[in-house]
Amino acid sequence: MSTERPDASYPGVPGEPGFMVNVGGGRRAEAPAEGIPPALAPGAGPPPLISIRELKVHFDLGGGGVFDKLVGGSPVRRVVKAVDGVSLDIYPGETLGLVGESGCGKSTLGRALLRLTEPTGGQVLFRGRDLAHLSKGEMRGQRRHLQMIFQDPYASLNPRMTVAQIIGEPLDTFALGGRGREREGRVSELMKTVGLSPRFLKRYPHEFSGGQRQRIGIARALAADPDFVVADEPISALDVSIQAQIMNLMERLQRERDLTYLFISHDLRAIRHVSDRVAVMYLGKLVELADAKVIYRDPLMPYTKALISAVPVPDPEVEAARRRIVLQGDVPSPINPPRGCRFHTRCPWAIEKCREVVPPLAEIKPNHFAACIRISPEEPDIEKVAPGDAPGLRGTGRVIAQ
Ligand SMILES: Nc1ncnc2c1ncn2[C@@H]1O[C@H](COP(=O)(O)OP(=O)(O)OP(=O)(O)O)[C@@H](O)[C@H]1O
Ligand code: SF4
Ligand SMILES: [Mg+2]
């Protein structure tokens, strides 16, 4: 049985002063309406387009059976907790950037939102409707509103289909495209929208450059006229010179088509460029959420501090004066992740309590949420808190000024 539990003596714990359930842009939860998760209770501003509540995606790798023990395998069942209790609101028209080291669960979260990966638990509400519990048929009806742009534009395009067929496929799937010339006209329009000449309608993916292929992928995502797009590392496979073009294209399309993006990347500079708000993930959990400018200027949670400190600042003087936090040790395995705060094995500020207590994502400053038991609205600056004192943790994670 897990001993993980939130601790009532820390800020952000239900029932305690300072507990805030809302994980959106400052729309505080009051008394929730019956049957509606607290964060969806009415507040100022438009309601969220997507609300994620305690979302879990666990991959069962098996093991733990008699046979496993006989052949010297794992004596316990191995479960990858790729996403483990994430709650988040995404508001109409915003770009929410999702960052974190490789393997922390970003893609799994993005895919689970669209039910491309089945959630193990929790809710994904799209305009208040729980997608996680829709039947396959009902989900198909919703899918045209929720689309995805993939990392590798080549792998995600069928090499045997022409561009016209690729972009036209969603038109057929959702019966939006008409036939013959009408359909061709719609595909041509979509090509123009993403900066491709309709002269290339009959060409195949291999005849295009990487950037052009990503434009085809974007046109395909747009064909169904979606409201919400998960862009999973959409520029990572592209040359640096092309990356800016694709980001600019996505920004223009967002303005023109009222799109809402979840932009997933491990590239913190790209995330800073495109995001309105930024969410940081570590080992399946959200650890910080704030306005993009704020999180880059004033990260609160130690892991975010380390990530942000590695991003170069264009101003040479500021850059020279900056302190870099170099994390020691590798990211632990998401199979049986560390108890308590998952970051405690690498955190320079870890104390014994961090092994036991799961820090809730709490509002430390207005609209700035962080998961760390050693900071609070009264003392939000971990640098002012005494360094870690957990026996056995000393030395595994150190703050190194460079
Ligand atoms: N189908 C699967 N079966 C088992 N484990 C999986 C599966 N998909 C993902 N995982 C595991 O879940 C964890 C999270 O993976 P995920 O791809 O979501 O991470 P990520 O943050 O997107 O990483 P990257 O930055 O490398 O893309 C990883 O440990 C990964 O190995
Ligand atoms: S101080 Fe403790 S709770 Fe805060 S990030 Fe470090 S290990 Fe986690
Ligand atoms: Mg990924």
| C-alpha 112 – ligand 2 centre gap (Å) | 27
Q: Which DSSP state fits 40?
A: G
Structure tokens at 105: 């669960």
Ligand 3 centroid, distance to 285 Cα (angstroms): 15
Mean pLDDT of 69-79: 69
Ligand 2 nearest-atom number relative to CA 303: 5
Cα-to-centroid distance, 220 and ligand 1 (Å):
25
Count of beta carbons in the 10 Å neighbourhood of residue 77? 14
| Pairing outcome for strands 362-365 and 277-282 | unpaired
pLDDT digits (tens, 9 = 90+) for 309-334: 988 877 788 777 777 888 877 889 88
Q: At what angle do helices 163-173 and 180-193 cross, to 10 degrees?
A: 110
Q: What is the spatial distance between Cα 331 and Cα 286, in angstroms, rounded to a whole number? A: 15
Confidence bin at 286 (pLDDT 50/70/90): very high
132, pLDDT greater than 60: yes
**What does the pLDDT read at residue 28?**
33
DSSP string, 185-209: HHHHHHHHHTT--GGGTT--GGGS-
Strand ranges inside 172-314, DSSP E: 228-232, 260-264, 277-282, 285-291
Whole-number average pLDDT of the chain: 83
More confident residue, 264 or 388: 264
pLDDT of residue 322: 76
How would residue 72 be classed by pLDDT, with cut points 50, 70 and 90? low
The band of 155, judged by pLDDT with boundaries at 50, 70 and 90, is confident
Determine if ligand 2 sits within 6 Å of the CB of residue 208. no
Q: Ligand 2 centroid vs 223 CA: distance in angstroms?
A: 44
pLDDT one-digit tens code per residue, 138-147: 888 899 999 9
**19 HSE (CA, 13 A, CB side):** 16
Residue 103 beta carbon below 6 angstroms from any ligand 1 atom: yes
Ligand 2 binding pocket mutation candidate from 286, 351, 354, 394 (most atoms within 8 A of CB): 354
Closest CA to 253 of 193, 212, 210, 196: 193
> How many alpha carbons fall within 13 Å on the CB side of residue 355?
9
Q: Does ligand 1 have an atom closer than 6 angstroms to the CB of 98? A: no
344 lines ligand 2 (CB under 6 A): yes
Which one is predicted more confidently, 33 or 327?
Answer: 327
- Please give the pLDDT value at position 98: 98
CA R_g for the chain:
23
Does the pLDDT value for residue 17 go beyond 60?
A: no
pLDDT of residue 1: 41
Q: Does 284 have pLDDT greater than 80?
A: yes
Structure tokens at 349: 């500020």
Mean pLDDT of 155-163: 91
Nearest ligand 2 atom to the CA of 375 is 4
- Amino acid found at 171: L
Residue 66 pLDDT grade (very low, low, confident, very high; cuts 50, 70, 90): low
Q: Note whether 227 and 164 are within 8 A (CB).
A: no
Q: How far apart are CA 387 and CA 181, in angstroms?
A: 69
- Mean predicted confidence (pLDDT) in 368-382: 95
Mutate which of 304, 343, 364 for ligand 2? The one with the most ligand atoms within 8 Å of its CB, which is: 343
Give the pLDDT score at 299: 96
In this predicted structure, what is the pLDDT of residue 263? 98
* Residue 148 scores a pLDDT above 90: yes
User: Which pLDDT band, with edges at 50, 70 and 90, does 64 fall under?
Assistant: low
Q: pLDDT tens, 1-15? A: 433 333 322 222 222
Q: Give the residue-averaged pLDDT of 370-374.
A: 96
What is the model's pLDDT at position 74?
A: 62
- Range from 35-39, 136-140, 280-284, 365-369 carrying the lowest mean pLDDT: 35-39
364 lines ligand 2 (CB under 6 A): no
Q: How far apart are CA 8 and CA 323, in angstroms?
A: 34
pLDDT of residue 325: 83
Q: Please give the structure tokens belonging to residue 310.
A: 């590695």
According to DSSP, the residues that pair with 261 across neighbouring strands are 95, 229
pLDDT tens-digit map of 182-214? 888 999 999 999 999 999 999 999 999 999 999
pLDDT of residue 129 exceeding 80, the answer is yes
